[in-house]
Amino acid sequence: MHKIDKPPFYAAAICPVWHDSYGGLRINGKGQVIDIEGAAIPGLFAGGEASGGANQHGLGKALVHGYIAGGSIAQERA
């Protein structure tokens, strides 16, 4: 639209990034990963960005899922 012909010239990179992922491993309320048949896979837990099915992402999701999965693991080992 406008000719720019006098220095100094400046540039900035603007890179839109999609950082939400609504896909991921299916988990139950204990954080256990669910197989294709709907059964929990023994000893396999997931949370945060690795788990799907939520409209939340980031640290909040990771902290909540980590807390739930950690509590479930501790109950299993008790």
Measured in whole angstroms, how far is the alpha carbon of residue 59 from the centre of its chain? 9
d(CA 69, CA 9): 52
For the stretch 41-58, pLDDT in tens is: 999 998 887 887 666 667
Residues 6+ apart with CB under 8 A from 54: 22, 61
For the stretch 16-29, pLDDT in tens is: 666 666 678 899 99
Q: Give residue 55's pLDDT.
A: 66
Q: Could you tell me the pTM of the whole model?
A: 0.64
Which helix (H) or strand (E) is 41 found in, with range?
strand 40-45
Domain spans of the chain?
Answer: 32-77
**Token reading at 51:** 């788990």
